Amino acid sequence: MKNNENLSNKRHSLAHLLAAAVMEIYPNTKRTIGPAIDNGFYFDFEFAEPISDADLPKIEKTMRKILPTWKNFERFELGAEEAKKEYPNNPYKEELIDEFTKEGQKVSFYKSGEYWDLCKGGHIENIKEIDPDSFKLDRVAGAYWRGDEKNKMLTRIYGLAFDTKEELEKYIYQKEEAKKRDHRKLGKELELFTNIDEIGHGLPLFYPNGAILRRTIENFVQETQESLGYMPIWIPHITKENLYKISGHLDKYDAMYSPMKIDDDNYYLKPMNCPHFMMLYKTIPHSYKELPIRYTCTTTNYRYEKSGELSGLTRVRALTQDDCHIFCEPEKIKEEINVILKMIEKVYAAFGLKDFYVRISLRDSKDKSKYLGSDKVWETAENALRDIVKNTGWRYEEAENEAAFYGPKLDFMFQDAIGREWQLSTVQLDFNLPERFELEYTDKEGKKSRPVVIHRAVLGSTERFMGIMIEHFAGNFPLWLSPVQIKIIPVRENHNEYAKKVADTLKEANIRVDFDDKEENLGSKVRDAKNKKMPYWVVIGDKEISSGKLALENRNGDKSELTLEELKTLLLKEIVDKLFSLPTV
């Protein structure tokens, strides 16, 4: 959801309207502050009696009643003493007024209808533009006055607000749907991953189902890129301090963990791999004849994230990147990036993510001191990216102050099955690391030249991508991704032998089979297949053995009968084609 000033002003205006409604219903309430936020607005109050979510419809109704009576906001100013008189017995407003009038200034108020409030402004110009169905009160929460836990706990009312009723409904749908699909909940139910207190926050461990899922995703990307001439490398997870001094990370990058002393040197857990790639390139002499060199490595990085910000797989401290660095002649940049863009489009299509746009992330033109490299180098790089993206015909936008400190980049924003937007792939141009590491190749004239480096990750991080995919598919993974692809269920012990032959035949074809010969009843075995959201299962009893036809069922309830050979062909075709229907939403 893109934010804009108009929407933000509308949300702030609705915060006034909320306060107006509250003051009408609960006149003894002390008002405090009410800003616009990402998905709407809130207002903090000190109520005389506690209220709850059950009171929100009444307040919302009053808001809708007041709204048509409001004209546009009018501004007026008051001195400190006069201003305070407007809020008898309200220490919060007094504190604010004292603060704003420290040097004798007046404070501004805004008024609409019967309601006025101390306010710096930022309201909608034409109040009639507010569709009364485009907002909704969301929930009541506790919040300390000014966010400080030493202060009194106030009551915060959150409201949702968007430009249109449709956008509000879409947002509410997404939120509810996202809750049902929450990857932390599904991660547990489907035995994909877990967080273990004894091991640490933000360091998830993966059960077999999750380990197979991550490997399948990683292998698919690896195979795709190796078919395009990318070559795997392997690097360790710790490194001497000196490496990050050369690269500049030690100065510019603040998510590194504290170092370990080994012998006489400081060693760091690596937060990123670029310097390792540079060093590997540097240890061998290169000629233009071998360029471009495309190194890739799927490897785990460790970055500090605040404990309170960690969440499931989407915000972790151990993140595995499908990292790649391309070393090429400067005149080959466009060609190389075009290969990358094609690859990104192809990979994401296989995950059913076809709706995307590109963000061209540029330097902050107002503060160039944050970046490495000259103006000229930056301009060339930014223009190159612009040209390439324009040529694709894809949707794009430009964003200042979003570049890496060493170069501009392209970020890919994909929409998932419920319409949420995620930043996933990244392509970064880098003229700086080749300089800092003094990388070279022998050019056509036999002279030493400096290669350009292109950084890129297709998935971003395996963990975050998995989190997004679990929610995107609501756990109903397409066959090629499914940790278990089919479950074979013998009805009774005397069907085990035949069922095992079926299972073994499919296993030999590299199909992931769960052969369930546990001493359980049939019903609970089928229930388990459904609960685990397995794509297919087959029940084998007397009838199936005598007819040689297997009874196949899928998670959508479709049933069919077919021979073992037909079943194998069906599964293999679906796996290779990566066919799937997105979960119906």
**Residues at the site binding a second copy, with contacts judged by CB under 8 A:** 191, 194, 196, 198-201, 203-208, 210-212, 214-215, 227, 231-240, 242-243, 246, 257-263, 265, 267, 269, 276, 279-280, 283-284, 289-290, 295, 297, 300, 302, 304, 307, 317-318, 507, 518-520
CB closer to a second copy out of 270 and 359: 270
CB closer to a second copy out of 74 and 189: 189
Q: Which of 84, 303, 359, 472 is catalytic?
A: 303
**Selection from 313, 324, 226, 310 nearest residue 273 by Cα:** 324
- Known catalytic membership, residue 264: no
Q: For residues 324 and 230, give the distance between their C-alpha atoms in angstroms, rounded to a whole number.
A: 8
- Known catalytic membership, residue 323: yes
CB closer to a second copy out of 364 and 508: 508
Contact partners, residue 411, CB within 8 Å, separation at least 6: 358, 359, 361, 402, 423, 425, 426
CB closer to a second copy out of 123 and 183: 183
SS3 505: helix
Q: Which of 44, 138, 322, 323 is catalytic?
A: 323
**Selection from 496, 413, 417 nearest residue 460 by Cα:** 413
Q: Which of 325, 456, 512, 532 is catalytic?
A: 325
- Known catalytic membership, residue 436: no
SS3 97: helix
- Known catalytic membership, residue 416: no
CB closer to a second copy out of 202 and 408: 202
Fill in the DSSP letter of residue 31.
Answer: E
- Report which residue type is found at 40: G
- Known catalytic membership, residue 455: yes
- Known catalytic membership, residue 105: no
User: Cβ of residue 469: shortest distance to a second copy, in angstroms?
Assistant: 16
User: Cβ of residue 252: shortest distance to a second copy, in angstroms?
Assistant: 18
Q: Which of 455, 464, 495, 512 is catalytic?
A: 455
- Known catalytic membership, residue 472: no
User: Cβ of residue 38: shortest distance to a second copy, in angstroms?
Assistant: 27
**Crossing angle of the two packed helices 462-472 and 165-181, in degrees rounded to 10:** 110
Quickly tell me which residue has 């307040």 as its tokens.
59
User: Cβ of residue 525: shortest distance to a second copy, in angstroms?
Assistant: 11
User: Cβ of residue 283: shortest distance to a second copy, in angstroms?
Assistant: 5
Own/partner contacts of 302-311, CB < 8 Å, gap of 24 or more, are 302/237, 302/257, 302/269, 302/270, 302/271, 303/255, 303/256, 303/271, 304/254, 304/255, 304/256, 304/257, 305/202, 305/255, 307/201, 307/202, 310/201, 310/202, 311/184
β-bridge partners, 322:
298
CB closer to a second copy out of 153 and 199: 199
> Is 279 exposed, middle or buried (CB count within 10 Å of its CB: 0-12, 13-18, 19+)?
middle
**Residue 544 dihedral angles phi and psi, to the nearest 5°:** -65, -40
Q: Which of 321, 464, 516, 533 is catalytic?
A: 321
Q: Which of 119, 274, 297, 324 is catalytic?
A: 274
Q: For residues 462 and 44, give the distance between their C-alpha atoms in angstroms, rounded to a whole number.
A: 40
User: Cβ of residue 531: shortest distance to a second copy, in angstroms?
Assistant: 14
- Give the catalytic positions in this structure: 274, 303, 321, 323, 325, 409, 455
